[in-house]
Chain A
Amino acid sequence: MLVVVAAAATTTSFLLLLLLTSAGAVAGGCKPEERDALLAFKDGIREDPAGLLASWQLRGGELMTQDDCCRWRGVRCSNRTGHGHVHVVKLDLRNDRDDDAEAAALAGEIGHSLASLQHLKHLDLSMNNLMGSTGHLPEFLGSLRSLRYLNLSGIRFSGMVPPQLGNLSNLQYLDLSITVTAHIHQEDQSMAPQLPLLYSMDLSWLSHLSSLQYLNLDGVNLSSVLDWPHELNMVPSLKILSLSSCSLQSANQHLPQLSLTKLEMLDLSNNHFNHPAEFSWIWSLTSLKYLNLSSTSLYGQIPNALGDMLSLQVLDFSYNDEEDSMGRSVSKRSNMCTMEVNLKNLCNLQVLDLDYRLSNGSITEIFERLPQCSPNKLKEIHLASNNLTGVLPNWIGKLTSLVTLDLFNNNITGQVPSEIGMLTNLTNLYLHFNHLDDVLTEKHFAHLTSLKSIYLCNNSLTIVVDPEWLPPFRLEKAYFASCLLGPKFPAWLQSQVDIVAIAMNDAGIYDTFPNWFSTTFSKATVMEISCNQIGGELPTNMENMSLERLFLDSNQISGQIPQMPRNLILLDISHNLITGHVPQSICGLQNLDGLDLSNNLLEGEFPLCSEMRNMSFLRISNNSFFGNFPSFLQGWTELILLDLSWNEFSGSLPTWIGNFSKLEFLLLKNNMFSGNIPDSITKLRKLTHLDLASNRMSGAIPQYLSNFTAMIEKHSAVNHEERLSGCDYKSVVTVKGQELVYDEENVTLVTIDLSSNLLTGAIPEDIVSLVRLINLNLSRNYLSGEIPYMIGKMQSLESLDLSTNKIHGEIPPSLADLTSLSFLNLSYNNLTGRIPSGTQLGTLVDLHPYDGNDGLCGPPLQENCSSKDASSMIRNKHVSGFDICPFSLGVVLGYIAGLWLVYCTLLFRKSWRVAYFCFLDNVYDNVCVIAAVCWAKLTGRTGERSQMSEVAWSMDSEDEEEEALQRPY
């Protein structure tokens, strides 16, 4: 791209030179009428935040020199305009603040008074907000007949481009572009399709501009100008033409006589030409040095005529569709090309960019057709994501000018030729996501003295070098994930002190951190060494490193957490063997945004980190943290994910839990939290994951569940930008009777799991408004009341588990409306009446969803409904007298304590146990369930809790327990 900029700059400076030579020194000051015109123009400016026009004022009426507008900022005069008079010839008020254009932009209108500056040759008002009240590009500019240079780019005009501009017959440079990046452009289209933009329906006025060399209409809507190539063909003086993002319809018009023989640069990118590439006239423009057809939907074979464009230096024919997060491949398929054209004679070619463009091909054959001139000027080859097969040729070493080789995401096989090590200019080498299979040695890197970025991940590559090897390069970005670098921590990295980003995940390293770690990588901001077998303690002296993102998860790291790099934004040291308390120093990480300490051997109370107000991600699950729900979290209002599950937290949930206005994941399962679920929890509007399973929550389920709006409204695709990239939004959900790990990067599973608590009361009727809810698990509680009658409204529901409660009444017929339901468990309740029927419910009978409800009748049960009705009514009455509600927990626990001796013995002899409980009648039933739950919890916790099999086991045994207990009615 550097080449392009240079080429553009050359032409521009040539034009500027042309204009400046005519604007000589100034004597005698400006004409009053021109001064007044400028002052009138200033009156039209409402805002001037940068004080650009501060010098534009009359000071003393007598002293002409002070009022000389030729000395005002941005104004130039000349006396060589004819007749010896001094005239304003140049007005340059370009806002060139790149960093924050809005902060310096003039706002207001381009006043009509400028029409008096009839000698104006150069007018540049670009990048300001000078749309005026109408938003239209002023027509009067067409009367400034001396103009050679007119730059109104970046002013977001709307309406039609005035054809009066055709009167500017001296114009050499015209820029009306609206610089929209492809990204913003797409967003605009989706978010505000009606956004008014500058448009033109007829470009015939251009034919009057016989001196025009530079024309840039980027972003101007030309969709109605079907014949645009003919109109431009009437301007043979053109050297640079840019029509990017102009909504041009096609580029396959019939042009018998192509007169654009001086054209050097052509940019037609981001126009959706939806026709075969070979039918375009573009390839006849043999004078072109720069051709940009990126993100045009041209397809089919790239024509042989390309091989005759001998002046070509830069060809960008890439397709940039990163924004299409879903169905990307579908959109791509229609824009794909094949390339068999021979480029051997394009000796000037420096940049070839075909990223995402080809449907298939062989890298071997494409390389054979590349320019083979001597010296070879090719600097950049971009062929990423083109489904290319084949092997890399050995003669790659002859591409001596090569700076960038990008072959990312293809199916290239075979070896990496060691000749690649001859490319002394090679700076960027992207070979990741291919099927290369090779052992790389010192020879492959022998002369790569310029190498800065190397991406080798996701191949089958092994790097074997002498432990004493000193590389010729100083890398900045090194991505070796899944390359075999171990078993030792690579010693040659010690010399790579310029590294900014390094990834060595899954690299087979069985070692400890080297003692030079903190000094060598002191400049690194991103580091990933996950999924190795690195043991020993974390490196020392890390606090002065520059690291912002550090991923050391899934290793064997032991010891305690040391002082961490102070600029950290993301820290993931999960799945290790780290012990001890979390040090208070971690609270000093001012920028920390995400912290994952899960699956370690950490213990104690979490330190009081009340200052970390940026935190959006905290996962500390599967450790042995204890204490109350951390009070310091009250200030963490940015939290999106909070995962405290599988610890020993206790006490009640605070009412301020409802203040996490951004919280999407609240995962507290398998702790010892008790008390009521605070009503305020329904204030969590963004919540999609609520998991309080296996705690000791009591009381009723909060009312007003319909306040969980994220569980009701359809989600737009999850915005990754808002969430932390790099943080792992995976969540383990008990759904459909299984533990599944959901990757929440692209989709959101909406789930509520309150199972295995001590909840009482009825299921709130308005739970049925949660139409996005996919998983609802309220099993193993003491819920009473009936199943919400309108449950059929929960159209997304796939898994519903209400088993082992005290729910009574009939099963609502609307249950049959849940056509996505694929798991159902209503067993062990007090349900009565006829079981509803329907296709979907009929497919669920193998799950035995109705077991343990003596009052149910009709298919799929054997029980006939008519005989059942009377007896079930009697039974119901009997049971309702012994609901859990009147029992306080203390009484129940006391009862257990009393039975403990007997019970302990029974625990270990299942046959006795079953026999014993067989004697208990319904009165004691509730107690037994509590005991069983507690028992399962105790045994579940003493083992290795992190083992999933263990979890499954404790769940299973719990099942078994309760079935055994519940059966003897």
Chain B
Amino acid sequence: MAPRVALLAGAVVLLLAAGAARASNDEGDALYALRARMSDPNGVLQSWDPTLVNPCTWFHVTCDHASRVVRLDLGNSNISGSIGPELGRLVNLQYLELYRNNIGGEIPKELGNLKNLISLDLYANKLTGSIPKSLSKLKSLRFMRLNNNKLAGSIPRELAKLSNLKVIDLSNNDLCGTIPVEGPFSTFPLRSFENNSRLNGPELQGLVPYDFGC
């Protein structure tokens, strides 16, 4: 028991500040929950220490001056696993860069809570399921790249409400139905939607049902 007690003495010193500060660190907890879902062979999440006051010194995480998480940069990091609903708690997030990994599972509808999100890059993963309608709540969104996944279902027509959307890429999925034509969709080139074998071209309002072929 002696070494244990010695360790405790050390722990008392080291963990002193940690215990109290943790309770109010919701963004850190949300990120740590993401870490728990991920397999991380390259150890890119190794610095994510939940006992720190906030996640601002974790690698691949960026905060603003008020210590709110604004960026998550994990592109090309060889991580696998799934994205959980807890990411929706990062309400200050502006850039979610998870492209070129092996992430599977569905896109959680809770990502629609990221009302400050500017860039949603989930391309080149193994995502399944459909594109959640809730993403139409991302009013600040400028970039949405979900290409090269295994997404199915139709493109939520509500995405046409994203007036700031500059770039969309949904190519190389398994989407079906037709492509919205309103709002920003009026300017997107067709190659943003190519290689979705069941996608039937731009919407023909009144002539063909929106999710024709789904």
Min C-beta distance of A472 to chain B, whole Å: 23
The stretch of B54-62, B81-89, B185-193, B200-208 in contact with A is B54-62
In the assembled complex, B152 has its CB within 8 A of some CB on chain A: no
Q: Cα distance A189–B166 when bound, in Å?
A: 54
Q: Cα distance A822–B73 when bound, in Å?
A: 7
A384, A479, A738: which contacts B12 (Cβ < 8 A)? A479
Q: Cα distance A356–B181 when bound, in Å?
A: 59
In the assembled complex, B160 has its CB within 8 A of some CB on chain A: no
| Residues of the A chain whose Cβ atoms lie less than 8 Å from the Cβ of B7 | 322
Do A506 and B75 touch across chains, with their CB atoms under 8 A apart? Answer: no
Give a binary string over A475-515; 1 marks a CB under 8 Å from any B CB, 0 the rest. 00101011000000000000000000101011000000000
Q: Tell me the B47-84 residues at the A interface (CB within 8 Å).
A: 47, 49, 52, 56-57, 59-60, 62-63, 65, 71, 73, 75-77
The stretch of A216-224, A619-627, A839-847 in contact with B is A839-847
Q: Cα distance A749–B5 when bound, in Å?
A: 31
Task: Give 15 new A-B contacts, CB below 8 A, not counting A774-B59, A843-B71.
Answer: A326-B46, A428-B5, A477-B9, A479-B9, A482-B20, A506-B16, A746-B47, A798-B62, A819-B75, A820-B75, A822-B73, A822-B95, A839-B121, A840-B73, A840-B75
Q: Tell me the A419-471 residues at the B interface (CB within 8 Å).
A: 428, 430, 432-433, 453, 455, 457-458
Q: Cα distance A528–B99 when bound, in Å?
A: 48
In the assembled complex, B126 has its CB within 8 A of some CB on chain A: no
Do A742 and B57 touch across chains, with their CB atoms under 8 A apart? Answer: yes
Majority secondary structure, A binding face: loop
Q: Cα distance A432–B10 when bound, in Å?
A: 12
In the assembled complex, A889 has its CB within 8 A of some CB on chain B: no
| Residues of the A chain whose Cβ atoms lie less than 8 Å from the Cβ of B8 | 384, 408, 430, 432, 455
In the assembled complex, B194 has its CB within 8 A of some CB on chain A: no
Residue positions of B touching A, CB distance < 8 A: 1, 3-5, 7-16, 19-20, 36, 46-47, 49, 52, 56-57, 59-60, 62-63, 65, 71, 73, 75-77, 95, 97, 99-100, 118-119, 121, 143, 145
Do A457 and B16 touch across chains, with their CB atoms under 8 A apart? Answer: yes
B1, B9, B19: which contacts A433 (Cβ < 8 A)? B19
Do B62 and A736 touch across chains, with their CB atoms under 8 A apart? Answer: yes
A330, A453, A455, A482: which contacts B16 (Cβ < 8 A)? A482
Do B97 and A458 touch across chains, with their CB atoms under 8 A apart? Answer: no
Do A355 and B4 touch across chains, with their CB atoms under 8 A apart? Answer: yes
Do B97 and A840 touch across chains, with their CB atoms under 8 A apart? Answer: yes
Do B47 and A843 touch across chains, with their CB atoms under 8 A apart? Answer: no
Number of interface residues of A (CB under 8 A): 53
Min C-beta distance of A640 to chain B, whole Å: 18
Give a binary string over A652-668; 1 marks a CB under 8 Å from any B CB, 0 the rest. 00000000000000000
| Residues of the A chain whose Cβ atoms lie less than 8 Å from the Cβ of B5 | 428, 430, 453
The 10 A-B residue pairs whose C-beta atoms are closest, nearest first, are: A747-B47, A819-B75, A819-B76, A822-B62, A822-B73, A843-B95, A822-B71, A843-B119, A457-B12, A742-B57
Min C-beta distance of A296 to chain B, whole Å: 17
Q: Cα distance A528–B95 when bound, in Å?
A: 43
| Residues of the A chain whose Cβ atoms lie less than 8 Å from the Cβ of B118 | 843, 846
| Residues of the A chain whose Cβ atoms lie less than 8 Å from the Cβ of B10 | 725
Would you mind naming 23 contact pairs between A and B with Cβ atoms under 8 Å apart? A1-B1, A322-B3, A326-B46, A355-B4, A408-B8, A457-B16, A458-B16, A479-B9, A482-B20, A740-B56, A798-B60, A819-B76, A820-B59, A820-B60, A820-B75, A822-B62, A822-B73, A822-B95, A839-B97, A839-B99, A839-B121, A840-B75, A842-B143
| Residues of the A chain whose Cβ atoms lie less than 8 Å from the Cβ of B97 | 819, 839-840, 843
In the assembled complex, A340 has its CB within 8 A of some CB on chain B: no
Do B59 and A747 touch across chains, with their CB atoms under 8 A apart? Answer: yes
| Residues of the B chain whose Cβ atoms lie less than 8 Å from the Cβ of A820 | 59-60, 73, 75, 77
